[in-house]
Amino acid sequence: MAEYASPRVRNVAKPVIEVLAGIPTIVYGVFALMVIGPFFSAAGAMIGLNIRATSALTAGAAIGMMIIPFISSLSDDIITQVPRAMRDGSLALGATKAETILKVVMPAALPGIVGAVLLGVSKAIGETMIVVLAAGNAPRLTANPFESVSTITVSIINQLTGDQDFASPQSLVGFALGLTLFFLTLVLNVIALVIVRRYREQYE
């Protein structure tokens, strides 16, 4: 959209994507519960797969629908901020438009795109409403995306909801899960910072 779309298409697509990025997560959760889940279940039945309407696949699809417009909107703004002189210099040296985008624009915009992806992933990791409605809230450890599952954020809510003593096992489990979530987010931040610094030094 940033490089190939015409101004007319961009003027329509950009506001639509930004509207999608601003939709409350509860709306995506209800949509997943009423539309995406039954669709996956029916599609699985047609090919002989047992896919539950509330499953990790349903929640993942809904979260993907939520964060893709968010990442796309931020990445579009970042790509359009790349100086025009870099594009003109590449084209003047004989590079095609595709080569300019691949070898000049994208590397220059990569730190910002990595930041946008990190924000989207962090938003997905901390998402609660969609997985409460669409994942089935079944506390089981499985690699099968067709089964109902729970997530760390939902488990934290379940453990800390109600009148619990601070030192009770339920509260301690909730704090341990919160620490685990913090550690996962920290690791993602460190990886993103390493990538950003490496390429930022290269293109400054």
Establish if 39 belongs to a structural domain.
Answer: yes
Give the helix/strand (H/E) hosting 202: helix 169-203
Residue 49 identity (one-letter amino acid): L
Establish if 189 belongs to a structural domain.
Answer: no
Please write the tens of the pLDDT for every residue from 123-155. Answer: 888 788 888 888 887 777 778 888 888 888 888
| pLDDT score recorded for residue 201 | 47
- The structure tokens listed for 151 are 């997530």
Establish if 204 belongs to a structural domain.
Answer: no
The percent of residues above 90 in pLDDT, for the chain, comes to 7
Residue 20 identity (one-letter amino acid): L
Question: 175: which residues sit within 8 A by CB, 6+ positions away?
Answer: none
State mean pLDDT over 83-87: 87
pLDDT-derived band at 119, boundaries 50, 70, 90: confident
Number of domains in the chain: 1
Establish if 177 belongs to a structural domain.
Answer: no
pTM of the complete model: 0.76
Give the SS3 label for residue 136: strand
Establish if 87 belongs to a structural domain.
Answer: yes
Q: How large is the greatest C-alpha to C-alpha distance in the chain, in angstroms?
A: 70
The percent of residues above 70 in pLDDT, for the chain, comes to 96
**Which region, left, alpha or beta, applies to residue 138 given φ > 0 means left and ψ of -120 to 50 means alpha?**
beta
* Alpha carbon 112 to chain centroid, angstroms: 15
The whole domain housing 95 covers: 7-151
pLDDT of 197 > 80? The answer is no
Establish if 56 belongs to a structural domain.
Answer: yes
pLDDT of 114 > 70? The answer is yes
Read off the CATH number of the domain in which 35 is found: 1.10.3720.10
